[in-house]
Structure 1
Amino acid sequence: MRPVSAHAQAVSERMTTRNRSRRMRAALILPALWALSADLWAQSDWKKEWENVLRAAKKEGQVSIYIYRYEPVLEAFKKDYPEIKVFAVTGTGAQLGTRIVTERRAEKYIADIFSAGPNSAFNILYKAKALDPLKPAFILPEVLDESKWYGGRHNFVDTEGKHIFGYLANSSSSQLYYNSNLVQAKEFKSHWDLVNPKWRGKIVSLDPRLTGLGQTMQFLYYHPEIGPEFIKKFFGGMDMTFSKEFRQMTDWMSQGKFAICVGCKDTDRAKNQGLPVDSFDTSLWKEGGSFSSGGGSLSLLNRAPHPYAAKVFINWLLSRKGQIALQKLADVDDPPNSRRIDILKDDVPMSNRLVEGRRYLDVGRPEWQDLEPIFQMAREIMKAKG
């Protein structure tokens, strides 16, 4: 065998090194190209799906939305999608939920979307098996991206975690309000101060058997420092007057007929009109405050008559643009706080924001959504009062 010359050996080594270098570059570049290709494919995939949904939604030409409180935001949706006519039904969550169930018993499937408090969505519609899973309707990447939402997650509040989406994170005063001519707010350091005998006969409350007071009742019932004993003393032992009308209670309180109100939801309007009403900041009290979705949860009805238009509205409302519009337009007297964390909060009053360092109980926990144990207690209290 002829010996290999030094020159030939050097050439061979250079070629081997060059080939090895090429293989290493390919090993680095190919995964990046595959990832880029997959990303482009995914972008193309959702865009194609969105275009198909838009086309079908425009063909349907209508979406039926049953909505509580925040209906002004629908005007912004109409401007963005003029080809989709909005049929809106407004009322309280309990009224709207009951109406939908009644319609369906008559084989009338009218509603596409339900937007109201999660208590009504869960205790009326979810229990009636009237809802479809919502997440399959999410198409836009900015809606699907959970990092853009408070807590880094989608806030589904039903026990299955897929039917009722809470899109707000409002700091709550436990729906406790007062006449500023009759009450010194600084006197209150704890929820237990509300059962001071001096306030007996001076409190008006929304009927505690209604879902409109549900999130307050959840807070009082499940809070380890408050609990059922407080509920019995407060609603059963303070000679309260009960009502089913928010505005009536606010009028009574502003006129001085009552010093404290539980459930007066339009006090911001009254305060802006110069009336002597205000809300307690319970986040400063011993037990802290709560935060919840308030009247801001979203559900998709099963057997919806306009499923594609419903998908368009769902994605629009939960997008940055939709949530900005919600904060700005939905309630000029009491702007809500979106759970999206990638939008400015300039339009949201401090009373609705979560203040760092303060204590809050999240009453939107799925395991607390069944109000039946609380309602049973409320029924017993009301029955004992005669």
Structure 2
Amino acid sequence: MTWIQNVTKVSACSAAALTVFVASAVAEITPEASEFLSAGGIDTAIIDQASAASDTDLNIPLDWIDKAAAEGPIDFSTNDTPEHVAAWLPVFQARYPEIDIVATETSGAARAVQPLLAYKSGSLVRHVLVSFEGSLPDFIEADALAELDDLPAWSGVPEDRRAADGTYAGMQNTTWCLAYNKDRVTAEELPATWDALFAEGHPLGGGRVGAANRAQLWTLNLWTHADYGPEKMTDEILPNFFDNLKPQLRKEGISGIANLMLVGEFDVALPAPNDETEELMETGAPVGYHCPEPVPQYFNLIGMFRDSPTHYSSKVFINWILSQEGQLVRYVAGGDGPVHKDLQIGGASALGDAFAGKDIALRTIEGLTVGLPALYDVWNPLWANSGGPER
């Protein structure tokens, strides 16, 4: 029986049979994705896992594809660089050639605030949004986000990284730990926990750690963690950080402290993201990465506007991003850490072996909206009173 005969036969069958056909059509990873991941260093076993998951993750209803083909291009507001987009977009379109995407690189207000203001005034300037955590309460108040919980890949997003009402999901993780100069720090000096690092007399004390003024990237995670919490952070952990560890308090940002660590200004950079640290290590620099427990981690969001003219195209696109195939492709393309529950393993994210299987201190949406102001009330005076420079 020819392929055309197969399609004709299926078209005469029930909706249930149609679903089976669609599932069989996506039962494995595309050759383009497999080749891209293999060339990017992803282990064959992980590629096989993503391929097997395609039967579930990418089981898109056929009518979504038909409707998507009739829609215009998706305007995707992203913080991806053009080089990043140029790497992953062809792999997406190898699976979905009927869907066009215009990826607009934006930052800050242009990525979230301005599109929301336009939506509230009756104009839609973006369809799909990412990294809008800071404006999430405003999106919720405006009821601006479409439900996504009917996506086949929705179940792969951990419950603590997706909306209970289905209106947004985490799309990528970033992990914040310690980057250190391997020529100056021994394995025995690396702390198992944050408590241990801040204990009196720790060998990395006395200025060997260079700290950026970025409490929201790691201390907030401890602030909301069950084993730490606001009271312990206020009375013990944060005072010990400043008074016992005595880090160098720096005005530089994340990339700046990493570079200063390399040239010997100090031995350890805090905090350090896993993706940028891996890029630094790939240059051959003597850099190591270590994650005390609980491991600070946060996730960036993805969502789409209600009443979008690209409703079905956007859902297909977001579903691919949340699938194991899409998550791994974006990791290889630009270092984005997968949020998918089955990809929290070594080899599936930047420096994943440093934190896979460890206790995670997650920066939650509630932590950002409620916990962060309270944390700043404690952190900012301690930073200033310890001689920390303003940003």
TM over 0.5, shorter chain: yes
For structure 2, the 5+ residue unaligned runs are 1-12, 23-59
TM-score after normalising by structure 2: 0.65
| 1:351–1:345 CA distance, 2 compared to 1 (3 A) | closer
User: May I ask how many residue pairs the two structures share in their alignment?
Assistant: 316
User: Which residue in 2 is equivalent to 1:126?
Assistant: 137
How far apart, CA to CA, are the structure 1 residues paired with 2:91 and 2:125? 22
Q: CA deviation at 1:111?
A: 3.3
Aligned equivalent of 1:111, options 117, 126, 141 = 126
Report the residue type matching 1:194 in the other structure: L
2:222 to 208, 219, 224: 219
Match of 1:29 in 2: none
The 5 A counterparts of 1:36-115 are: 39-40=16-17, 47-57=61-71, 60-67=72-79, 71=85, 72-81=87-96, 83-89=99-105, 95-96=107-108, 99-102=111-114, 104-105=116-117, 109-115=124-130
Check 1:163–1:316 CA distance in 2 against 1; reply closer, same or farther (3 A cut): same
For 2:224 and 2:149, the matched residues in 1 are separated by 34
Residue 50 of structure 1 deviates from its aligned partner by 0.7
1:290 aligns with 2:306: no
Question: Quick one: percent identity of the two aligned structures?
Answer: 16
Structure 1 residues without counterparts, runs of 5 or longer: 1-35, 283-287
Q: Deviations over 1:293-350 (max 9, x none)?
A: x45432224576754442232122123432332343332xxx6344153899755454
2: distance between equivalents of 1:98 and 1:379?
A: 28
The residue matched to 1:322 in structure 2 has which SS? helix
Structure 2 letter corresponding to 1:289:
P
* CA contact 1:133–1:162 (8 Å) conserved in 2: no
TM-score (norm 1): 0.65
Q: Who is 2:187 aligned against?
A: 185
Q: Determine the structure 2 residue equivalent to 1:278.
A: 288
Q: Distance in 2 between matches of 1:207 and 1:380?
A: 12
Structure with larger Rg = 1
Rounded to whole Å, the distance in 1 between the matches of 2:78 and 2:243 is 34
Once superposed, what is the RMSD of the aligned Cα atoms?
Answer: 3.9
Shift of 1:365: 5.0
How do residues 18-37 of structure 1 correspond to structure 2 at under 5 angstroms?
none
Q: Which amino acid aligns with 1:190?
A: T
CA separation of 1:157/1:104 partners in 2, compared to 1, >3 Å: closer, same or farther? closer
* In 2, Cα distance between equivalents of 1:156 and 1:206: 26
| Kept after mapping to 1: 8 A contact 2:179/2:258 | no
Deviations 1:7-36 (A, max 9, x none): xxxxxxxxxxxxxxxxxxxxxxxxxxxxx9
Deviation at 1:240, TM superposition (A): 3.1
